[in-house]
Structure 1
């Protein structure tokens, strides 16, 4: 169980012991075309109440654990994830960090929340 709530902008590198409430905007499979279309990860874009957009990633080894829980547009509470610096080569958001799911990640769908989390994010 997470200790307290945090905003995505306040995340620091390492294992996060706080919980975050986010909306899953989009997700897709990342595949390696050079290795017979092998699944590398499930990539996603998440947003919080401050409209901070962060990229998330579920490694292929954990995709069966989380895949059935993923629903675009839904709200989630998550904790126990790893926080890393955003990749400079494969960067999909302006967020300075990225979220990596691990075997200890708790990722629960919420029916409602008291937080107002946007349903879309548009960048020009």
Structure 2
């Protein structure tokens, strides 16, 4: 039997009972510099076989459950998560939605996959687009 996965582009806002297969491209800690470097969340970039990139977020409250399982470049099965509209500030992908992990989220690392999921993603911008984004605090460059 072939597993059926939803593509990231098909996600809609709300509690999601679908399952996605994604590669974790990058992750990092978001810290509040105004509160002595207090951990706010773990942010990540996830990509699927259709080359759709979305931002993922694990709040500081839930980071203990997921932190040790995060490995850049690894492929995961992700289910039972929340889907929200992308954050207007510090937007890291062109996707309209973001994935939020919560206590009930299932996040399982795969040893192997039959799907071809990219290991990198590039977002090209014209010089004019970069100038428009300069100093707007709306998007962070993804490197």
Q: Same fold (TM over 0.5)?
A: yes
Which residue number in structure 2 is paired with residue 72 of structure 1? 72
Residue by residue over 1:70-124, the C-alpha shift from the partner in whole angstroms, topping out at 9 and shown as x without a partner, is: 0000000000000000011120000100000001100000011111100111121
Which residue number in structure 2 is paired with residue 120 of structure 1? 120
* Number of residue pairs matched by the alignment: 122
TM-score by length of 2: 0.83
Q: Is the CA contact 1:4–1:18 (under 8 Å) kept in the aligned structure 2?
A: no
Which residue number in structure 2 is paired with residue 85 of structure 1? 85
Which residue number in structure 1 is paired with residue 55 of structure 2? 55
Runs of 5+ in structure 1 lacking a partner?
none
Bigger radius of gyration among the two:
2
Where do residues 14-25 of structure 1 align in structure 2 (5 Å cutoff)? 14-25=14-25
Runs of 5+ in structure 2 lacking a partner?
125-143
State the superposition RMSD in angstroms. 1.1
Which residue number in structure 2 is paired with residue 97 of structure 1? 97
Find the aligned partners of 2:109 and 2:10 in 1 and give their Cα distance: 22
Find the aligned partners of 2:18 and 2:57 in 1 and give their Cα distance: 18
Residue by residue over 1:28-70, the C-alpha shift from the partner in whole angstroms, topping out at 9 and shown as x without a partner, is: 0000000111000000000000000000000000111000000
Which residue number in structure 2 is paired with residue 32 of structure 1? 32
Q: Is the CA contact 1:15–1:80 (under 8 Å) kept in the aligned structure 2?
A: yes
